[in-house]
Each structure stands twice: as C-alpha cells, then as structure tokens.
Amino acid sequence: MYGHPNTGIRRRKIDRDSSICLKLAPLVAEFLYELLTQTLAEMDYQADITGLSHHGFERRYSLRYDQPLIRLRILDVKLAIHGLTDLTLTVSEFKQLNIAA
C-alpha cells in the first residue's frame, strides 16, 4: 500500500490474494489492527479512525464492508419515483440523493 490507496476489496479477499489467513479475523481483529498499525507507515492507512466498532478495521485500511441499509417508503403515490414507492438504499447512496425540501 502506498499513500493510502482505496483498495475497495473485502477483508475476506485478502486471504486469497496473499498468505494472510483472515478466516479467524473476528477473533484476532484487535491483534491484526495493532500489527498493521505498527507495521505500516501512517500514510498507508487512515490513522484518524480508531477502534473496531462500526467497521473501524475495514474503514481504517480501506477495505469494503456491508453498509447499513435505509428503507424509504413513499406513502403518497404522487411522489413516487418512476412509480417506485418502496426503496432500499445504502447509506452512501442515500447521501447522494438530491431530495428537495
């Protein structure tokens, strides 16, 4: 990793791309967190993200993770989006919506 690339890969894919076995990652995530922090240069990860909660490990090392979903139900049919009244979006997709007040 050079200069904190945004790899966008999932943690489980690291196992296939290298000799690192992460099948037990939930059990050793804290160990891996400390090991990578001590091994990598600070510019190779997001040092401002601390802790493991809320996908902290994945966000710190730019790994993909399942984002929480937002369900949007439009009750007024006149406000339906192309006829859709029940939508499920990721948080990042919802943030990109341009919803007029």
pTM of the model as a whole: 0.49
Question: Can you tell me the distance from the alpha carbon of 16 to that of 65, in angstroms, rounded to the nearest whole number?
Answer: 17
Q: How far is CA 56 from the centre of its chain?
A: 9
- Cβ contact 34:41 at 8 Å: no
For 48-100, what is each residue's pLDDT tens digit?
888 777 788 888 888 888 888 999 899 999 989 899 999 999 988 888 887 76
Chain-centroid distance of CA 33 in Å reads: 16
Contact (Cβ atoms closer than 8 angstroms) between residue 89 and residue 69: yes
Q: Look at the alpha carbons of 12, 13, 14, 16 in this order and tell me if their dihedral is positive or negative.
A: positive
